[in-house]
Structure 1
Amino acid sequence: MEFSATNAAHAVLVSSPGHLLPILELGKLLVTSHNVGVTILVVSNHLTATGESLIVQSAIASNLYNVIHLPPVDTSNRTSGPGITHIVLAVREIKPALRSALSALESPPTALILHHLAFDCFEIADEFEIPKFVYVSPNAWFLALLSYTPVLDKIVEGNFVDHKENLVIPGCRSVRPKEVPTPLGYRKSSDYAEFLHVALEIPKADGILVNTWEELQPRTLAALRDEKLLGGIVKAAIYPIGPIYRAPSKELSSELSEWLGKQPKESVVYVSFGNKGGISVEQIVELAWGLELSQQRFIWVVRPPVQKTGIGVHAKIGNNDVSFLPQGFMDRTREVGLLIPQWAPQVEILNNPSVGAFFSHCGWNSTVECICCGLPMIAWPLFAEQKMNATLLTEELGIAVRSEILPTEGIVGREEIKRIIRRVTVDEEGGGMRERAKALKLAAAKAHKEGGSSYNAVAQLAKKLCISDSSC
C-alpha cells in the first residue's frame, strides 16, 4: 500500500485501551505547537469503551484533530484479568479496522505514532510504507527497564519479584525486585509474555517518544542514547517531549469551588487512586482513620472497595453508598473533609491554590499533573510501574513520602498514614519537598517554551513527520 506524496505533515496516532488521554494530549501538542495535522484512532475494548466515551466526545468537539473511534473489541472470553494481555489482544483484533481507516483517510499520513501497548501495529506502518514511532507514556526509567527486559529475561532465574538482588540496568538506577511493574511479576503469566514482546518490538521503531524532559531524568536519557549502555539496544532516536498532560479546561462545580474557597492556601490534601486502582475495605477503614487523625483538610475521591488492594473490579454499590467507611467518619470530619464519589476533576482541583499535597497512586499521568502544579506527594503505588514512580519521586526527586510497607503487601495502619500525611503538610521536611516541587514546576514549564528541551525535541520530531522541510 502506498499513498501519494504531499508536503503536509499528517501523523496518525493510535491509542491502546485505557490509554487514550496521553494520545489525545500528544495530538494537541503536535497540532497547536508545531502545525502537524493529526488523526487519532481510538482503540477500546469491553473494559474501556464506556469510560472513554465522554473523553472522545470532548476531543471531537475540540476540532483540533480528526478522531475515529474504531469498533470496541470484547476480549472478556480470552483473558480473565485487567492486565496488559487484554490490551494487546484488543489491538491485535482491531488491525483490520485500522487498515481500513488508514486507507479511507482523505489526507494521507506521513507517519504512524503508536502508544507503546499498540506496538503490534508496527507491521501496518510497514505495509503503508510510512515511518513508525512509538509513544511511551510513562517515564524514561520505565523505558530503560522495558528496553533491557530481554537481557534480564535471560540472566535472571525464576520470577523477577523473587530475585535476591536488585535488577541492574546499565547507566541507570537499579530496580528493586519488589518495584518491578506488575506484568513482570511472574514468568508463566500471559502478561509477562506480552511485556517481553513489547520490549523486543519497541527498539524497531524509527523513533521513541517518552513523556519526560531532559532536566527531569538526564542520567537515564543519557544511558538510553549511549551505544555502550542502553543505546546499543535502543537504536531508535529518543524524543523526551514531556511534560504532556491535560491542562485545566473547565470551572469547578459551585459546591467544590465554594468549599475550596473557604480553605487556607496550600492546606488541602487531595486523595485519589486513579480510575483503575482500588483498595480493600480494611485499607479504606485505616485510610479514613489516618486522614481523621492527621487533623488535615482533605478532598477524597471515594470509590467502592476492591477485594484486594491493587488493580481490580470495584464492588457494585450505589454511587452514594459509603457504608464501608468507619461509623461516624463523615460527621466527625465534616468541617475539614470533603468526599467526592467515584470521579473528580483532578487537574482543576490540583491547580486550586488551596490544595497543598496529592495523596496518589503514582500513575505517571497523575504524577506529571502533580509536578506541573508544583505539589508534593504522598506516594501510594498500586500496580503497573507505579512502584518505580514512587521510588523516583521519593528517593531521586525528593518531592514525596511513602509508607514503610507497600500498600499491596499488607495493610498500612492509621498511625502510619497519619504520620506520612503530616510529614508533608506539617513537618519541616514537607517545606523542603514543597520547594523542590515548585522548582520542578518551573523547569517543566520552561521545557516547552520556545528554545526549551522538549520544545526542541518536538520540533525535531515534527520535521521527521514531514515529507519536506518546507512543510514544517
Structure 2
Amino acid sequence: MDNGSVKQTVVLYPGGGVGHVGPMTHLAKVFLRHGYDVTMVLVEPPIKSTDSGAGFVERVAASNPSITFHVLPPIPPPDFAGSTKHPFLLMLEFTRQYNEKLESFLCSIPRERLHSLVIDMFCTQAIDVATKLHVPVYTFFASGAGTLAVLTQLPALLASRQTGLKELGDAPLEFLGVPPMPASHLIREILESPDDELCRNLMKAWKRNTDTDGVLVNTFYTLESQALQAFRDPKCVPGEVLPPVYSIGPLISKAGGTDEEAAERPECLAWLDAQPERSVVFLCWGSKGSLPEAQIKEIAAGIEKSGQRFLWVVRTPAGTDDVKRYFEQRPEPDLDALLPEGFLERTKGHGLVLKTWAPQVDVLNHPAVGAFVTHCGWNSTLEAIAAGVPMLCWPLGAEQFMNKVFLTVDIGTGVELQGYNTGFIKAEEIEAKVRLVLEGEEGKELRTRAAELKKEVEEALEDGGSSQAAFLLFLSDVKNFSQ
C-alpha cells in the first residue's frame, strides 16, 4: 500500500443483519491482503435470540483476529410486535437512527488514516454521514451483478406504470444485461402497488446503492459480463451516469475450514469418503431456508424413488414471523416426526440426513458430490460454481428467483425443479431431475459447464486475474478521490 508511512483504515458497515457479516468478512480479508487495517462496525441485533447475533459475531471475531470489530452503542430496538408497519421498514428506520453514532465513530479516526467507508446494500442511509465528512463511500453488493442490474433499472420501470407488476404474472420483462425476467420472479415485496410504502422505500434503498462512489460486487467478470457491461450503457438509467462497478469476487469461504474443525472431521465428510465420485446429491436450502412438513415428506419420497445417494440437511419448518425467522435459531428437527415412517432405515445404505447444518463448502468440494439442490442464494450459488457442482434450482424468496433465471438461462449450470413458483414440488419431479443431473445426458452437459466455470473462478482470482485487477482499480480510484 502506497500512502507514505500511514497505514490506512477501511471501515466496513454491514448494518443490522448478522447474515451480511459473513460476506463482509470475506471482503475484509481482501483489504487485509493489500495492507490495510479493517474495522467492521456492527449494531446490536434488534431481537435477542437463543443463538444471538452477538454469539455469531464473537465466533467470527475469534476466527478473524486481524479484523477489528466495533459495536456501536445500542439504541432502543423497534417495537416489532406492537407496530403495524412492515418489519423491513422498521429495520430501515432502526439502521438510519444509528447514523449519529456511526458519524461519531468515523470522527474518532484521523481523516488521513480513514481510507473509505464500505456499506451494505441496506445501509444506504450511511451515505449521508460519509458525504458530510468527505469520506469516500462505496456499496458492497453481496449478491450478483444481474440482480444489481435489475434493481438499478426497476425504479424507472415502476415510475412509468400506473399499477404494480403483480398482474403481469409470468410475462417477461426486459432489462439491460440479463435474460428476459418473468415479472413473478422479481422480489416479492415489489410486486404490489408502486404506491405501497414498503415498495417505495425498497426502491429508494436500491436506487441509493448506486448513489455511492462505486459498487463492489461479489461476482467475477466472465460469469456476468453482460450485466456488468450494462452499467456503462447510457440506456441503463436514462439521464444518469452510474458510478463504476467493480467485480471483485467470488468472495466465499475456502474448503478445509480451520485447524480446529479439521481436528474433528464432521461425520458427513467421512461418510462421503466412502461414496463413489460424483454420485451424491446434496440438498440444502441455506442457513435460514426451511420447508413445510408436507414438502419434506415429498422430498423423501422423491429421493427414495430415485435410488440415488444423497446427503440432506433438514431444518425445523419455519414459523410465520418473518423477523423472528431471520434473527432466531430454530430448535433441531424431529426427524422421526418429519420424515416418512421407516425412511431413515430404508435409505441407511446410501443416504445420510443431517439436522440443521452441514459444512457446505467442504461438502460441495468433496469429489463424491455430483449435484446440489439449492435455494439459489448468491453465496450458495458462488460456492457451487467455485466447486464445479451443477445445481438443481429451488428458490424460496428474496432475489433467489432471479438467480434461478441467471443459472438456468444464462450461466448454464443449473436446472429448475418445476413447481418452485407454486410452492410445492412433487416427488416425481425430484426423482426425475436428480436422476437427470447425476445420470442423464443433460447432466453431462451441466457437469462440463460447471467444470469450465470452476476454472474461470480460479483464473479470475489469481494474480493478474479480472477480480484482482478490478480491486486494484478500485484502490486507485479511492486514491484519486482523496487527492
TM-score with structure 1 length normalisation? 0.90
Q: Helix, strand or coil for the counterpart of 2:162?
A: coil
The reply to whether residue 74 of structure 1 matches residue 81 of structure 2 is no
Alignment of 1:23-34 (within 5 A): 23-32=24-33, 34=34
- Greater shift in the superposed pair: 289-298 or 307-316: 307-316
**Could you tell me whether the CA contact under 8 Å between 1:277 and 1:311 is conserved in 2?**
no
Instruction: Look up the match of 1:126.
Output: 131
Instruction: Look up the match of 2:269.
Output: 257
Q: C-alpha displacement at 1:261, in angstroms?
A: 1.2
Instruction: Look up the match of 1:209.
Output: 216
- Greater shift in the superposed pair: 61-70 or 262-271: 61-70
Instruction: Look up the match of 1:293.
Output: 305
Instruction: Look up the match of 1:236.
Output: 243
Q: Provide closer, same or farther for how the CA distance between residues 78 and 90 of structure 1 changes in structure 2, counting only shifts above 3 A.
A: farther
Alignment of 1:367-382 (within 5 A): 367-382=381-396
Instruction: Look up the match of 2:46.
Output: 46
Alignment of 1:11-160 (within 5 A): 11-16=10-15, 17=17, 18-32=19-33, 34-47=34-47, 50-61=51-62, 62-70=64-72, 74-75=77-78, 76-77=80-81, 84-105=88-109, 108-160=113-165
Q: C-alpha displacement at 1:173, in angstroms?
A: 2.5
- Greater shift in the superposed pair: 408-417 or 77-86: 77-86
Q: C-alpha displacement at 1:301, in angstroms?
A: 1.1
Q: Provide closer, same or farther for how the CA distance between residues 396 and 170 of structure 1 changes in structure 2, counting only shifts above 3 A.
A: closer
Q: Deviations over 1:279-315 (max 9, x none)?
A: 1111111111111111111111111113689998499
The reply to whether residue 169 of structure 1 matches residue 184 of structure 2 is no
**Could you tell me whether the CA contact under 8 Å between 2:28 and 2:38 is conserved in 1?**
yes
- Greater shift in the superposed pair: 57-66 or 311-320: 311-320
Q: Helix, strand or coil for the counterpart of 1:31?
A: helix
Q: Which residue identity does 1:385 align to in structure 2?
A: E
Instruction: State the alpha-carbon separation in 2 of the partners of residues 11 and 325 from structure 1.
Output: 48
Q: Provide closer, same or farther for how the CA distance between residues 425 and 253 of structure 1 changes in structure 2, counting only shifts above 3 A.
A: same
Instruction: State the alpha-carbon separation in 1 of the partners of residues 313 and 117 from structure 2.
Output: 37
Q: C-alpha displacement at 1:44, in angstroms?
A: 4.7
Instruction: Look up the match of 2:458.
Output: 445
Q: Provide closer, same or farther for how the CA distance between residues 48 and 199 of structure 1 changes in structure 2, counting only shifts above 3 A.
A: farther
Instruction: Look up the match of 2:402.
Output: 388
Instruction: Look up the match of 1:9.
Output: 8
| Percent of residue pairs identical | 30
Q: Which residue identity does 2:362 align to in structure 1?
A: E
Instruction: State the alpha-carbon separation in 2 of the partners of residues 102 and 343 from structure 1.
Output: 37
Q: C-alpha displacement at 1:446, in angstroms?
A: 0.7
Pairs aligned (count): 464
Instruction: State the alpha-carbon separation in 2 of the partners of residues 347 and 199 from structure 1.
Output: 30
Q: Provide closer, same or farther for how the CA distance between residues 99 and 191 of structure 1 changes in structure 2, counting only shifts above 3 A.
A: same
Query: Residue 185 of structure 1 is aligned with which of 191, 208, 220?
Result: 191
Q: Deviations over 1:326-384 (max 9, x none)?
A: 11111111111111111221112111121111110000011001100010011000001
**Could you tell me whether the CA contact under 8 Å between 1:304 and 1:316 is conserved in 2?**
no
Q: Provide closer, same or farther for how the CA distance between residues 86 and 158 of structure 1 changes in structure 2, counting only shifts above 3 A.
A: same
**Could you tell me whether the CA contact under 8 Å between 1:145 and 1:169 is conserved in 2?**
yes
Q: Deviations over 1:407-445 (max 9, x none)?
A: x52321101111111111111111110110111011011
Q: Which residue identity does 1:104 align to in structure 2?
A: S
Instruction: Look up the match of 1:325.
Output: 339
**Could you tell me whether the CA contact under 8 Å between 2:179 and 2:405 is conserved in 1?**
no
**Could you tell me whether the CA contact under 8 Å between 1:170 and 1:230 is conserved in 2?**
no
Q: Helix, strand or coil for the counterpart of 2:209?
A: helix
Q: Provide closer, same or farther for how the CA distance between residues 312 and 419 of structure 1 changes in structure 2, counting only shifts above 3 A.
A: farther
Instruction: State the alpha-carbon separation in 2 of the partners of residues 246 and 370 from structure 1.
Output: 11
Q: C-alpha displacement at 1:394, in angstroms?
A: 0.9
Q: Helix, strand or coil for the counterpart of 1:236?
A: coil
Q: C-alpha displacement at 1:14, in angstroms?
A: 0.5
Alignment of 1:446-461 (within 5 A): 446-461=459-474
Q: Helix, strand or coil for the counterpart of 2:173?
A: coil
List runs of 5+ in structure 2 lacking aligned partners.
Answer: none
Query: Residue 411 of structure 1 is aligned with which of 406, 424, 437?
Result: 424
Q: Provide closer, same or farther for how the CA distance between residues 257 and 118 of structure 1 changes in structure 2, counting only shifts above 3 A.
A: same
- Greater shift in the superposed pair: 345-354 or 432-441: 345-354
**Could you tell me whether the CA contact under 8 Å between 2:158 and 2:164 is conserved in 1?**
no
List runs of 5+ in structure 1 lacking aligned partners.
Answer: none
Instruction: Look up the match of 2:316.
Output: 304
**Could you tell me whether the CA contact under 8 Å between 2:284 and 2:314 is conserved in 1?**
yes
- Greater shift in the superposed pair: 6-15 or 82-91: 82-91
Q: Which residue identity does 1:110 align to in structure 2?
A: H
Q: Provide closer, same or farther for how the CA distance between residues 316 and 171 of structure 1 changes in structure 2, counting only shifts above 3 A.
A: closer
Instruction: State the alpha-carbon separation in 2 of the partners of residues 227 and 431 from structure 1.
Output: 40
TM-score with structure 2 length normalisation? 0.88
Q: Provide closer, same or farther for how the CA distance between residues 430 and 168 of structure 1 changes in structure 2, counting only shifts above 3 A.
A: same
Instruction: State the alpha-carbon separation in 2 of the partners of residues 428 and 261 from structure 1.
Output: 26
Q: Helix, strand or coil for the counterpart of 1:110?
A: strand
Query: Residue 349 of structure 1 is aligned with which of 363, 383, 392?
Result: 363
Q: Which residue identity does 2:183 align to in structure 1?
A: P
Q: Provide closer, same or farther for how the CA distance between residues 174 and 83 of structure 1 changes in structure 2, counting only shifts above 3 A.
A: farther
Q: Provide closer, same or farther for how the CA distance between residues 332 and 137 of structure 1 changes in structure 2, counting only shifts above 3 A.
A: same
Q: Deviations over 1:81-104 (max 9, x none)?
A: 996435423321322332233233
Q: C-alpha displacement at 1:231, in angstroms?
A: 7.7
Q: Which residue identity does 1:40 align to in structure 2?
A: M
